[in-house]
Structure 1
Amino acid sequence: MDPINHNYGSLGRVYKAMFDYEAQDDDEVSFQDGDLIINVSNIDGGWMTGEVQRTGQVGMLPANYVQLANI
């Protein structure tokens, strides 16, 4: 079963990472291509906040590195 098809209804908006990203500051999160980002909220200036499901890290991430997951 494709992991993207699981029921994530209680996890808010879910995005999938399209690229690896290494946090550049303490308030950012690192993630890998394919990671799911849950409970995502938009911030001005092309940034979002969310939780990397794999690591549990919560923080800011660049919006152009993720896409809305088709779940």
Structure 2
Amino acid sequence: MNIINCPHCNMYIIIEQLNCGIFRCGMYKNTNTQIDPHLPKIECDKLALEKTIYGCGKPFQIKNNIITVCDYI
């Protein structure tokens, strides 16, 4: 488990497992579970706008321990 900062909003994010390395900054407020790392932009924007998640909903990637901003993949 690692704790990182979102490259968009600087919120702390707990990374429990690193699969493909794509993430979205967001946890559902009602369940405290992470949003789908491949959720489309329109859905991420809606969650952030409606304030149903903690975080900004924006994408980033971790590759070789380097955190970078990426597109909605």
Superposed pair shares fold, TM > 0.5:
no
Bigger relative contact order, structure 1 or 2, given CA contacts below 8 A and separation 6+? 1
For normalisation by structure 2, the TM-score amounts to 0.34
For normalisation by structure 1, the TM-score amounts to 0.35
